[in-house]
Amino acid sequence: MLDFKVIATSTQTRARAGIIKTARGHIPTPVFMPVGTAGTVKAVTPDELKACGASIILGNTYHLYLRPGREVIRLFSGLHRFMNWDGPILTDSGGFQIFSLAKISKITENGFDFQSHIDGSRHLITPEDAISIQTDLGADIIMCLDECIPYPADAGTAEKALELTTRWARRCKTAWEETGRNGNALFGIVQGGMYPDLRRRSAEALMEIDFSGYAVGGLSVGEPKDLMMTTADTTLPLLPPGKPRYVMGVGTPADLVELVGMGADMFDCVMPTRNARNGQLFTSFGAVNISNARFRHDAGPLDPSCGCTTCARFSRAYLHHLYRCRELLSYRLNTIHNLYYYLHLMEEMRAAVRGDRFQQFRAAFYEKLDPDAVPGTNID
């Protein structure tokens, strides 16, 4: 099961620091969860994840359901043993991936009827199936099945999706209770598009059902950044203060700083790992593209203030060389750095909240951002 306690709050913002207790370990919040799409956080081992500071990771139900399949995961009594990760795991319901990846999908009252993007096979996932699959995965935190809508969507479309999501949430809660809860926690997902009144309706309906935590879904689906932030800012205060608040699928380092200030506790995003493989590296002075020619003769570390093994042992020139040659080591070293940066950023924010200096931390974060002023040492 799950126990959540707020241990510090900011007097300047809505930021808060807390602890989520699970059977597999404690999770300090606010927390960033690296995304393990197919039973792995791409390019790194579980030991490297821990060395970067990860306390919980995310698994994708849609991908793991299709490949390797739940029958394989059952052989290992769950995803933890299968991938050799002994910490907490959160799994999503699969709804967003069906929305974004399936070749053909049809939403009915019963659930998602879709065609696999891998082999074209047809599948049906109901709310009950979503709970059953995530139970087979052995996740510590599982999510209700929800309908995610694209942006823009009119109010009628958003309201219809909200109502279906609420009905599915009730079915998920019933299925979860009927399985004996299996030692995991179930989160509801707030929908409602970009409409504040619908967001309120969704939050109130989910709180009436009563979940272990609440997620803000349907963000970062194509809307302008200011609208995304406004929607999060109006939604987060609607959620109960004694439960974890999870903003799904977001975002940049600046997004995380702003959302923590609004009172969010949990985040996930593919950005640190995906961008690492594309050569974009996050630093204390901003994001840099390591393929840029200016790094060819640069003997300095990527980020002199970073404590990751990549920055401690390798130069920008070497990282530039590896990436331009498309060496596999490039993806590994870049990913280790980006994950460390994200996880250390969360650690810094937790410390700032505990010291009641979050606003000062936020100001300093932005003051340092200048990717054109990269400190370093040239050797040409």
Catalytic residues: 92, 268
Q: Which value, in Å, is the radius of gyration of the alpha carbons in the chain?
A: 21
Q: What are the strands, taking DSSP E only, across the chain?
A: 3-9, 16-22, 25-29, 31-33, 35-36, 57-59, 89-91, 105-107, 112-115, 122-125, 141-143, 185-190, 213-216, 245-247, 266-268, 280-283, 286-289
Handedness of CA 60, 66, 67, 71 (dihedral sign): positive
Dihedral sign for Cα atoms in the order 355, 358, 359, 364: positive
How many other CB atoms sit within 10 Å of the CB of residue 363? Answer: 11
Local structure of residue 145 (DSSP, 8 states): -
Q: Say how many C-beta atoms besides its own lie within 10 A of residue 205's C-beta.
A: 18
* Region for 84 from its dihedrals, namely left if φ exceeds 0, alpha if ψ lies in -120 to 50, beta otherwise: left
69: helix, strand or coil:
coil
Q: Which of 287, 308, 290, 310 is nearest to 298 (CA)?
A: 290
DSSP character string of 336-375: HHHHHHHHHHHHHHHHHHHTT-HHHHHHHHHHT--TTS--
In whole angstroms, give the CA distance from residue 313 to residue 323.
16
